[in-house]
Chain A
Amino acid sequence: MEKKFGVYICTGCNIGESVNIEKLKKNTAGGGGVPADVIKEHPVLCSPEGLDIIKNDIAAGTNTIIIGACSPRVKYEEFDFPGTIIERVNLREFVAWSLEPNTESTQSAAEDYMKMGIIKTKKGELPAPNILEDLSKKLLVIGGGITGLTAALEAANAGYEVVLVEKEAELGGWAAKLYKEVPREYPFEKLDEPLVFSKINEAESNPNIKVFKSAIIEKTDGQPGLFDVTINTKGTSETIKVGAIIMAAGWKPYDATKLGHLGYGKPNVITSIQMEEMAKKGKIIRPSDGKEAKKVAFIQCAGSRDPNHLPYCSSFCCATSLKQAKYVREKNTDAIAMIFYKDIRTPGQAEIFYKNMQNDPGVMLTKADVTGISDGGSGNLYVEAENALLGDKIKVEADLVVLAVGVVPATRAPQEYLDGLTEAGKKGDDAKNAYVTETPKPEFILNLTYKQGPEIPSLEGYYGFADSNFICFQYETRRTGIYTAGCVRQPMNMSEAQMDAAGAALKAIQSVEHVAKGMAVHPRAWDTTFPDPMMIKCTSCKRCTEECPFGAIDEDAKGTPFYRLNRCRRCGTCMGACPERIVSFKDFSVDIIGSMIKGIEVTEDEFRIVVLACENDAYPALDSAAIKRIKLNANVRIIPVRCLGSTNLVWVTDAFSKGIDGMILLGCKYGENYQCHFVKGSELANYRFSKVKETLDKLQLESDRCSLMQVSISEYDKLPEMINDFVTRVEEIGPNPFKEF
């Protein structure tokens, strides 16, 4: 498309009072290299009259539009002209509302921003989606427990074909082993019959669902829309193409043989799982002699909330034991149930069920730290406890003890194995080989063929749960198109697991629908641009394959990287990683940002500081500071980037060789509890920055001229001061010696 430019400057919202508009227009034309007559101004550009100027120009052929007005975060509906290249230059927030009005520095800032806007549109192109061929919208659900069944049914009922793979011979998982369920609904009085059986019937008879039983996933190859999944059913393999995957591989109860200190191993000490089996069979009896149990003790947190076993709370065991106490009471009105707990955790309306149970005089609850289970003769047991409400040290007789065992996600064993492998790998090939030979390989779930590994990468400190790192975005995974649900994600009860299954199914649907349109998925769900590498220049250094947070880049047999485009989230981390600078998006590239930096006017007597700001958090924070009219140093030039992970080191070289005196990378908090929506953008930028600092030091160019700052969106009140202090430090260092004067 041949670009026909239109440049529009709004003089409202203090812009006209802060800068000399005539001069701005003149220097924008000169500096940006656009004809003076395409630059127009209006006192309120967002008004219908102002917008008409732009619309009329578009009707007359203008297709590349630079709007010097307010932040792109506002007036987005007004300044929306589909089919044109648009760049919003933030004169209001970054100039009029943050800088001293009518100074030369402020004028230069406005001129630089306009010029950078023009450069961006000159270098950029209108995005056109890259839609891959032969896409599938079929969904794969791994796991036929309550979560997997629900996900399969929800997706099928929404009109999608589903392949459901279950490892066991029958569907249902743990839910099918329960005698009854915790009351699901108000008034939470009666135990509910298990729901899973109707779901099994529905799934098995639904024409949209194909069920594989006694089957595992041998291999998962490809990308969203184009996953080739090899399913192995009792030794026979079959490959099916699917578009997205819901991973609901479930959980295992904590290994009770490790709970010897709570009496496991004694005949009359059973787990909560065994209790369900027993209740389902009929009577609650003592395994030792088959007599009906009269005094049943439930030990909460058997393994859970214990640093030596499971440091976390398994979330549903309190309600489970209350339910099982009801089994005891319903099956034998003479029997009593005693629950020893650390805290009773029945959050939300589950509290009402707890209250109902407390009203039963045959149910006793006591807070206590159980220290052991001893023999009381003839199969009876003593529960020994400390710090109980009933006294410092207590001993209570029971004829059956039930251990409320915790949840271990199915993802834990493979992740531990893989973490071990990574650790061994760090010590060299010998150590790695030794690890592989010596360590028993657990059952993998996905068996991905991804360069970055066969399973969903674990998050530090999540105990093997394949959870999202984000509170606001519960279905974020680092493997696009693969969503986890149920107890592989977090310990959760059955109602929550069903809710979670529906959520994961929806995300899987979005994924297949978005790739069908050539669009990214969250967090850039609207984006139709894509990385378009100039492969001829690729040196196969593999930095992109290593650094891509989503494992979107694999390597061919020769070791040359290649994109699995539908896995890409468009953060630009590969663009930042590539030393050959071959990765570009239509509207975001190394050249675009580099040219913008080089477009900044450098003068002898003024400092220039470039701020590369993450557009998700840092940019809105800068806007917010401006809205509060907090003053910013006028020598600062802010350039938004998709993610700091896209920062290419050449920009630093561009800046310093041009004579820029300092550079700030402004991004999200990293490390544990990271806030980067592309996982580790600021962390990667910091790593790369540390490398450039070494180079700068070698060049005798003080590395203090570069700084990476981690800010959150809510720290806008402190942000201008942080930036201004940095400018002062650079001023103390002195001007960039490479300034060409």
Chain B
Amino acid sequence: MAENKKVLVIGGGFSGLTAAVETAEAGAEVVIVERKPFLGGRVTQLNKYFPKLCPPNCGLEINFKRIKNNGDISFHTLAEVDKVSGQEGNYDVTIKLKPRFVNDKCVGCNACAEACPVEMPNEFNFGLNNTKAAYITHNQAFPFLYAIDEKHCKGASCGKCAEACKYNAIDLSMKAETLTLNVSSIILATGWDSYDVSKLDILGGGRIKNVITNMQMERLASPNGPTAGKILRPSDGKEVKSIAFVQCAGSRDENHLPYCSYICCMASLKQVTYLRDIYPDSKATVFYIDIRTPGTRYEQFYTKIKEDPNVTLTKGKVAKITEDSATGDVIVVAEDIFAGKKVEAKFDMVVLAAGMVPSTKGLPVPADISYTADGFVIPSKLKKGIYAVGTAKSPVDVSRSVQDATGVAIKSIQSARRVK
């Protein structure tokens, strides 16, 4: 058999991108398939990384540049794996390519979005605002090509976008296609979703307007988000001056997610700074079970936040969250373990530190893969030549995902070598 050094990376989030560029820069050919119309995954939705408080788009830009400058990396967006067969050195993978309805001629001028009459909930902003059915998620999206949402688009009968496009970039007759690839190894970088907070009824998840998730908070704080970075509460657009963070919203709970979601403590502490930086008179309370800030810099960050007199950290579980219907304010009832009593307090807004659910929980990869009861891939049970990285295996932060994704690149090089 001819030497097959091609590596398939399933998932174009930060883990997948890292695995891909690191593998390619070590000399192998890589194909990335991404379910969404854009690369970058979860981190594109974040305002800043903890603990450096630097923007994720900075590292993404460099990784996109590495892709642009490397002929050994190709990618497919709106691509889903349909079938995997074979073994190390010779995996046949069938991939379904969903139509984007926009071709490579797109110049990113926004005329289609202006012309499009259809508004739909903005998934990128977790429904905090609407977007057109012809859209791009943000100004630094990659590839910089608009996409048309299949579900919401009215199709050729409307065709206003195609009329508006001067560059023949819109093709509403585009059909799904199938692609087959023969690869030596496969890297699963399928990522994660937020836990569905509507299952957290006592916390008002999905029910109380001013109870949002931590990922929604990222969008509210992002300059490219629905409020252009001002933290305004959903019910009335009021500036948020008092906020509560409810840790372990779903996580560390046998009825929901039995594991710890790793990132939520640092994420909430980081989000405290979002608010405190914009509104100097604001106050934040964090309700937690344990503050988990392992290692050097996380602990350092936590120590710094603790010093802020406007931040209160309360050890105790939140028992109930209700809405003051007159004002839209949110009332939190929690136990304060150290004070040994129940506390009740009113906030402008509450952020649920929603846990991490592996994407494979709802959407397993159509290959012979063993998962934990929670949907995480069990690495030791993977077939030779199939590897899992980042949050596909266990809840981790971006740093650990990068370490893991860099390390997995060497495994894919080994796979190629074994079948030489």
CB of A384 to closest CB in B, whole Å: 18
B180 at the interface (CB under 8 A from A): no
From A153-161, A252-260, A371-379, A654-662, the one touching the partner chain is A153-161
A114 at the interface (CB under 8 A from B): no
* B-side interface mostly: loop
Interface residues of B in 279-321 (CB under 8 A from A): 290-300, 303, 315
B58 at the interface (CB under 8 A from A): yes
Q: Is B403 within 8 A of A496, CB to CB? A: yes
In the complex, A463 Cα to B296 Cα: how many Å? 8
Q: Is B398 within 8 A of A472, CB to CB? A: yes
Q: Is B25 within 8 A of A349, CB to CB? A: no
Interface residues of B in 366-420 (CB under 8 A from A): 372, 376, 378-380, 394-396, 398-400, 402-404, 406-411, 413-414, 417
Q: Is A346 within 8 A of B260, CB to CB? A: yes
Q: Is B399 within 8 A of A502, CB to CB? A: no
Q: Is B62 within 8 A of A523, CB to CB? A: yes
B166 at the interface (CB under 8 A from A): yes
From B48-56, B92-100, B209-217, the one touching the partner chain is B48-56
A348-B259, A348-B396, A505-B410 known; A713 vs B61 contact (CB < 8 Å): yes
A186-B372, A347-B260 known; A506 vs B54 contact (CB < 8 Å): no
Q: Is B66 within 8 A of A503, CB to CB? A: no
Q: Is A186 within 8 A of B376, CB to CB? A: yes
Considering the complex, give the chain B residue whose CB is closest to the CB of A184. Answer: B380
In the complex, A355 Cα to B257 Cα: how many Å? 12
A12-B166, A159-B417, A465-B296 known; A345 vs B290 contact (CB < 8 Å): yes
B69 at the interface (CB under 8 A from A): yes
Q: Is B337 within 8 A of A389, CB to CB? A: yes
A738 at the interface (CB under 8 A from B): no
A46-B107, A312-B295 known; A716 vs B139 contact (CB < 8 Å): yes
Contact flags B322-362 to A (C-beta < 8 A → 1, else 0): 00000000000000011000000000000000000000000
CB of A147 to closest CB in B, whole Å: 11
Considering the complex, give the chain A residue whose CB is closest to the CB of B299. Answer: A313
List the B side residues contacting A315 at CB < 8 Å: 294-295
In the complex, A350 Cα to B393 Cα: how many Å? 12
Q: Is B299 within 8 A of A509, CB to CB? A: no
Q: How many residues of A contact B (CB 8 A)?
A: 85
Q: Is A312 within 8 A of B299, CB to CB? A: yes
Q: Is B140 within 8 A of A624, CB to CB? A: yes
A434 at the interface (CB under 8 A from B): no
A1 at the interface (CB under 8 A from B): no
Considering the complex, give the chain B residue whose CB is closest to the CB of A316. Answer: B294
Q: Is B295 within 8 A of A313, CB to CB? A: yes
Q: Is B144 within 8 A of A74, CB to CB? A: yes
List the A side residues contacting B409 at CB < 8 Å: 503, 506
A111 at the interface (CB under 8 A from B): no
Interface residues of A in 685-726 (CB under 8 A from B): 712-717
List the B side residues contacting A185 at CB < 8 Å: 378-380
A351 at the interface (CB under 8 A from B): yes
Q: Is B262 within 8 A of A347, CB to CB? A: yes
Interface residues of A in 288-337 (CB under 8 A from B): 305, 311-313, 315
B224 at the interface (CB under 8 A from A): yes
A154-B414, A351-B252, A506-B22 known; A496 vs B406 contact (CB < 8 Å): no
Q: Is B407 within 8 A of A501, CB to CB? A: yes
A560 at the interface (CB under 8 A from B): no
Q: Is B53 within 8 A of A620, CB to CB? A: no
Q: Is A348 within 8 A of B262, CB to CB? A: yes
Q: Is A472 within 8 A of B58, CB to CB? A: yes
List the B side residues contacting A467 at CB < 8 Å: 296
Interface residues of A in 482-516 (CB under 8 A from B): 490-492, 496, 499-503, 505-507, 509-510, 513-514
A451 at the interface (CB under 8 A from B): no
A470 at the interface (CB under 8 A from B): yes
Q: Is A714 within 8 A of B55, CB to CB? A: yes
Chain B contact residues (Cβ within 8 angstroms of A): what range?
Answer: 35 or more
Interface residues of A in 416-465 (CB under 8 A from B): 461-463, 465
Looking at the complex, which one of A491, A501, A675 makes contact with B294 (CB distance below 8 Å)?
A491
B105 at the interface (CB under 8 A from A): yes
Looking at the complex, which one of B63, B380, B400, B417 makes contact with A472 (CB distance below 8 Å)?
B63
List the B side residues contacting A74 at CB < 8 Å: 107-108, 144
List the A side residues contacting B107 at CB < 8 Å: 12-13, 44, 46, 70, 74-75
CB of A71 to closest CB in B, whole Å: 9
List the A side residues contacting B55 at CB < 8 Å: 712-714
CB of A4 to closest CB in B, whole Å: 25
List the A side residues contacting B61 at CB < 8 Å: 616-617, 620, 713
Looking at the complex, which one of B69, B254, B394 makes contact with A349 (CB distance below 8 Å)?
B394
Q: Is A344 within 8 A of B290, CB to CB? A: yes
CB of A244 to closest CB in B, whole Å: 12
B27 at the interface (CB under 8 A from A): yes
A197 at the interface (CB under 8 A from B): no
Q: Is A502 within 8 A of B411, CB to CB? A: yes
Looking at the complex, which one of A346, A349, A714 makes contact with B224 (CB distance below 8 Å)?
A714
In the complex, A514 Cα to B68 Cα: how many Å? 17
List the B side residues contacting A13 at CB < 8 Å: 107, 109
List the B side residues contacting A75 at CB < 8 Å: 107
A345-B292, A490-B296 known; A350 vs B108 contact (CB < 8 Å): no
In the complex, A628 Cα to B24 Cα: how many Å? 33
List the A side residues contacting B47 at CB < 8 Å: 714
Q: Is B290 within 8 A of A472, CB to CB? A: no
Q: Is B62 within 8 A of A616, CB to CB? A: yes
B258 at the interface (CB under 8 A from A): yes
Q: Is A350 within 8 A of B139, CB to CB? A: no
A474 at the interface (CB under 8 A from B): yes
Q: Is A624 within 8 A of B139, CB to CB? A: yes
Query: Which interface residue of A73, A75, A158 has the most chain B CB atoms within 10 A?
Result: A158
Q: Is B49 within 8 A of A471, CB to CB? A: yes
**26 sampled A-B residue pairs with Cβ under 8 A:** A13-B109, A346-B292, A348-B260, A349-B376, A351-B260, A472-B18, A472-B49, A472-B62, A475-B406, A490-B295, A492-B295, A499-B407, A501-B407, A502-B407, A502-B410, A503-B404, A509-B410, A509-B413, A514-B25, A523-B62, A627-B108, A713-B57, A714-B55, A714-B57, A716-B223, A717-B228
Beyond known contacts A186-B378, A347-B262, A620-B61: 7 more, CB 8 A cutoff: A348-B259, A367-B315, A471-B402, A472-B56, A616-B62, A628-B139, A714-B222
